[in-house]
Chains A and B, each alone.
Chain A
Amino acid sequence: MDPQTAARLAAGIGIGLATIGPGIGIGYLTGRTTDAIARQPEAVGDIRTTMIIGVALAEALTLYAFVIAILLAVS
């Protein structure tokens, strides 16, 4: 298998594996957020803001892998 093909294969496998961790993380985070909102509905604003920040930070991890995958796939 020449390096070009191996790089593209690695890009595909990498991005596939990279969505597992943040997927679990964001799902867990959203679950705990709904628990927190159910416990104290008047703090919805703060809880929602914190959840959005957490989701963006977890999403960034997928994007690091995405950038590396793009670098692998086009060279």
Chain B
Amino acid sequence: MANEVEASKITEALHELEVQTIWNLPEIGPFDFSISNAVIYMWVSALVVFVFFFVIARRLRKQPDALQTAGEVLLNLGTGHLTGQIGEKGKKYYYLVLTIFVYILFTNLIGLIPKPVALRPYTPTTNINVTFGMAFVVFVVVQYQGFKRHGVRGYIGSWLSPPGVPKAMALPLNLIFFVVHLMGEFFKPLSLAIRLFGNTIAGHLIILVMLGLVLEYQNYLIAIPPLAFVVAMNGFEIFVALLQAYIFSLLAVIYIESAIYAGH
């Protein structure tokens, strides 16, 4: 078969997209608690986020230096720009949104650093399970706020058609609106997950396949265009990392806001 023959240097270069188990723990029901390199790199990004803000909070000065300014910019982003839509009502979600933003940003940026194969590098956001977990958190928050603030009747009432519809057309229109809105409620967090996953894995895949091509045809002359392209692509990936973190947290804020102020 053709696919066994061409399992060559190109697929070998894709080691960065492969989850490898490091410490095999037993499975409890449907959950597998083994420690893989995906888990370890998620811990690494969480640790980096924690150390970053902890160090900044420890050395607050009257004249902010570069590190403190970076922390202040992120904090202003989280409590001002991003959450400007929720206002005071959603105040307890300011830091959730900021955490999501900073975590996605740092995870993607750490994933762009070239690491040797022995460290089994892996970017957690290239795994749909990780991004879906974050989107699931947003989904739970949205539904919880919706049902808590407006009650079951009020919240589902906001999914029906707007008032001022003639009696005869009320039932089919209500049904259509309800079904469309229900699908939308499930699809919006899923789209958050797929957007982040797709952007990250597309960038990494392009870079790794180009590097695999260089490894395959080991020739100095052929290697120049792919390497120039890979350098440019890495730069673009840095921009995409920032953008996707911003878009994920902004859309999360918009969804939370639409649940808090449902139908107004």
Contact = CB atoms under 8 A, between A and B. Distances in A.
Contacts, number: 32
Nearest to A8: B3
A60 interface: yes
B198 A53 contact: no
B258 interface: no
Interface residues of A, number: 11
A64 B128 CA distance: 12
A2 to B, nearest CB: 11
A43 B199 CA distance: 29
Nearest to B128: A67
A66 B202 contact: yes
Contact of A67 (B194, B244, B247, B250): B194
B115 interface: no
Interface string B232-260: 00000000000110110010000000000
Contacts of A56: 195, 243-244, 247
Contacts of B103: none
A30 B197 CA distance: 24
Nearest to B199: A63
A53 B194 contact: no
Name, among A60, A62, A64, the residue most crowded by chain B CB atoms within 10 Å (CB to CB).
A60
Interface in B20-78: none
Interface residues of B, number: 13
Name, among A53, A63, A64, the residue most crowded by chain B CB atoms within 10 Å (CB to CB).
A63
Contact of B198 (A52, A57, A60): A60
Contacts of B198: 60, 62-64, 66-67
A38 to B, nearest CB: 24
B129 interface: no
Contacts of B128: 67
A65 to B, nearest CB: 9
A60 B195 contact: yes
A63 B247 contact: no
B250 A53 contact: yes
Interface string A48-75: 0000110011011011101100000000
A63 B194 contact: yes
B245 to A, nearest CB: 11
A53 B243 CA distance: 9
Contact of A60 (B194, B246, B250): B194
- Give 8 closest A-B pairs by Cβ, nearest first: A63-B198, A56-B247, A60-B195, A66-B198, A67-B198, A67-B194, A64-B194, A63-B195
Given A60-B195, A63-B197, A66-B202, 11 more contacts: A52-B246, A53-B247, A56-B247, A59-B195, A60-B194, A62-B198, A64-B194, A64-B198, A67-B128, A67-B197, A67-B198
Interface of A: 52-53, 56-57, 59-60, 62-64, 66-67
